[in-house]
């Protein structure tokens, strides 16, 4: 059984990948989508969206990081994938689920689920272009505005050479509205031999149990649930091993929150760092009442120094210590 941390553009960046994979239970994660239109992107794009490639293609906890591409031109995607492999991408993942209007308008993401032959051509070309030892995987929704092609799309991906398929069990039109149709994951797994991952609406251990029962699969990708409950993957791994599950407390979460903020201070401009902290805190309010209190305290705060002091963090001191140890 594998548990993956879902790609989430604008939310799960290198900082959150680092912090969440340190909690444990996550077998692999994947970058935010890298949009490919007409040329091979320079190394600087990867430095921004897939910085782990420059430190062994894994997070500090040792969790492998896959590189996700989004586009519709098979040859261009193939060229970019081949280049990413020269930078050390261990797995190439292809996005066929993005619901964004701007992306879909330029023939990318979920809109491609209307064209199973194109899905096949994309995976085939990318598969051909990358070294044999680098798996190509795919992430799909159940369709664009209906589910009639869901099985044909999954078959097209598998026949094209996808080694695994993640199914976000909703159509594009269904957006993020519950429920996720986990029973469709079972239907997809019936028609392809490669492992199928269930994805969508797993927020708690009980959700995971139900998802496993309904989908019948053993592999899962967790998105918002894992951001809102950072030990969700660990809880699942512990439960599977038949051990008693002890959820992470708010106090145990504090070092992670502090580290998230320190990294945000270092890597993101002071203009945007507070927003990132509030974004994660807002999601944590789903699982921790204490997060609501902290969120309300920080809600109107945009000054990094004042946020340091509200969090009890000595950023300047920690910078000095970092420099001294470098
Ligand atoms: C803010 C946000 C950004 C996302 N960005 C991506 C992305 O870059 N690539 C992708 O394949 N899916 C993306 N997704 C979809 C998620 O990977 C996942 O399929 C979806 O959130 C359902 O899983 P969940 O209910 O566990 O969150 C994104 C979802 C959200 C909420």
pLDDT of residue 161: 98
What is the average pLDDT across 242-271? Answer: 96
Whether residue 291 sits in one domain with residue 228: no
CATH number at residue 194: 3.20.20.70
Ligand 1 pocket member 169 (CB < 6 A): no
Residue 113 Ramachandran class (φ > 0 left, ψ -120 to 50 alpha, else beta)? alpha
Does the pLDDT of residue 318 top 90, yes or no?
Answer: no
Q: Given ligand 1 and candidates 3, 5, 9, 229, which is best to mutate, with the most ligand atoms within 8 Å of its CB? A: 9
The reply to whether 213 falls in a domain is: yes
Ligand 1 pocket member 202 (CB < 6 A): yes
Kindly name the residue from 29, 98, 211, 304 that is annotated as catalytic. Answer: 98
Q: Where are the beta strands (DSSP E) in the chain?
A: 3-5, 28-30, 34-35, 65-70, 92-96, 136-143, 165-171, 196-199, 219-222
What is the average pLDDT across 262-273? Answer: 96
pLDDT band for position 323 (50/70/90)?
confident
What is the average pLDDT across 223-229? Answer: 98
Does the pLDDT of residue 278 top 90, yes or no?
Answer: yes
Does the pLDDT of residue 101 top 90, yes or no?
Answer: no
pLDDT of residue 120: 98
Q: Of 38, 17, 34, 35, which is closest to residue 26 (Cα–Cα)? A: 17
Whether residue 200 sits in one domain with residue 315: no
Model confidence pLDDT, tens digit, residues 177-197: 999 999 999 999 999 999 999
Alpha-carbon distances of 170 from 145, 148, 155, 176, rounded to whole Å: 10, 12, 17, 8
Which ligand 1 atom minimizes the distance to the CA of 93?
11
The reply to whether 245 falls in a domain is: no
Q: Look up the domain containing 295 and give its range.
A: 250-325
Does the pLDDT of residue 105 top 90, yes or no?
Answer: no
Using the mean position of ligand 1's atoms as its centre, give its distance from the Cα of residue 10 in Å.
10
What value does the mean pLDDT of the chain take?
A: 96
| Residue given tokens 């799960």 in the structure block | 12
Measured in degrees and rounded to the nearest 5, phi and psi for residue 34 equal: -110, 115
| Residue given tokens 């269930």 in the structure block | 198
Does the pLDDT of residue 159 top 90, yes or no?
Answer: yes
What percentage of the chain carries pLDDT values higher than 70?
A: 100
Does the pLDDT of residue 322 top 90, yes or no?
Answer: no
Whether residue 255 sits in one domain with residue 205: no
Rg (CA), the chain: 20
| 211 is known as an active-site residue | no
Q: Helix-strand-coil percent breakdown of the chain, rounded to 5?
A: 50, 15, 35
CATH number at residue 308: 1.20.225
Using the mean position of ligand 1's atoms as its centre, give its distance from the Cα of residue 203 in Å.
14
Q: Given ligand 1 and candidates 66, 103, 223, which is best to mutate, with the most ligand atoms within 8 Å of its CB? A: 223
Model confidence pLDDT, tens digit, residues 23-82: 999 999 999 999 998 899 999 999 999 999 999 999 999 999 999 999 999 999 999 999
Alpha-carbon distances of 252 from 20, 23, 69, 231, 264, rounded to whole Å: 13, 10, 35, 10, 20
| The last residue of a domain, from among 240, 262, 279 | 240
Q: Which residues are annotated as a binding site?
A: 68, 139, 199-201, 223-224
Does the pLDDT of residue 132 top 90, yes or no?
Answer: yes
pLDDT of residue 192: 98
pLDDT of residue 317: 83
Whether residue 218 sits in one domain with residue 287: no
Read off the pTM. 0.97
The reply to whether 164 falls in a domain is: yes
Q: Which residues are annotated as a binding site for FMN?
A: 68, 139, 199-201, 223-224
What is the average pLDDT across 223-252? Answer: 97
pLDDT of residue 80: 97
């Amino acid at each position: 059984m594998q548990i993956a941390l879902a790609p989430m553009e604008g939310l799960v960046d290198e900082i959150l990948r680092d912090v969440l994979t340190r909690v444990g239970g996550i077998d692999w994660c994947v970058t935010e989508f890298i949009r490919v239109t007409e040329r091979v992107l320079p190394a600087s794009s990867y430095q921004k969206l897939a910085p782990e490639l420059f430190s062994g293609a894994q997070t500090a906890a040792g969790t492998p990081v896959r590189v996700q591409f989004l586009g519709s031109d098979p040859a261009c995607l193939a060229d970019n994938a081949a280049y990413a492999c020269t930078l050390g991408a261990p797995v190439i993942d292809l996005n066929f689920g993005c619901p964004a209007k701007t992306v879909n308008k330029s023939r990318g993401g979920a809109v491609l689920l209307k064209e199973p032959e194109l899905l096949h051509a994309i995976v085939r070309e990318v598969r051909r272009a990358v070294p044999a030892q680098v798996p190509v995987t795919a992430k799909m929704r159940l369709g664009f505005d209906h589910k009639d092609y869901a099985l044909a799309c999954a078959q097209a991906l598998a026949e094209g050479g996808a080694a695994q398929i993640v199914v976000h069990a909703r159509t594009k039109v269904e957006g993020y509205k519950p429920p996720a149709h986990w029973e469709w994951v079972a239907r997809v797994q019936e028609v392809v031999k490669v492992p199928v991952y269930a994805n969508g609406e797993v927020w708690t251990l009980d959700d995971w149990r139900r998802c496993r029962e309904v989908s019948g699969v053993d592999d899962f990708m967790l998105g918002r649930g894992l951001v809102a409950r950072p030990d969700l993957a660990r809880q699942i791994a512990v439960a599977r091993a038949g051990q008693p599950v002890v959820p992470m407390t708010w106090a145990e979460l504090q070092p992670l929150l502090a580290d998230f903020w320190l990294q945000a201070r270092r890597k993101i401009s002071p203009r945007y760092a507070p927003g990132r902290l509030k974004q994660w805190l807002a999601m944590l309010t789903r699982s921790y009442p204490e997060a609501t209190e902290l969120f309300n305290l920080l809600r109107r705060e945009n000054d990094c120094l004042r946020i340091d002091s509200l969090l009890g963090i000595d950023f300047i001191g920690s910078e000095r210590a970092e420099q001294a140890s470098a």
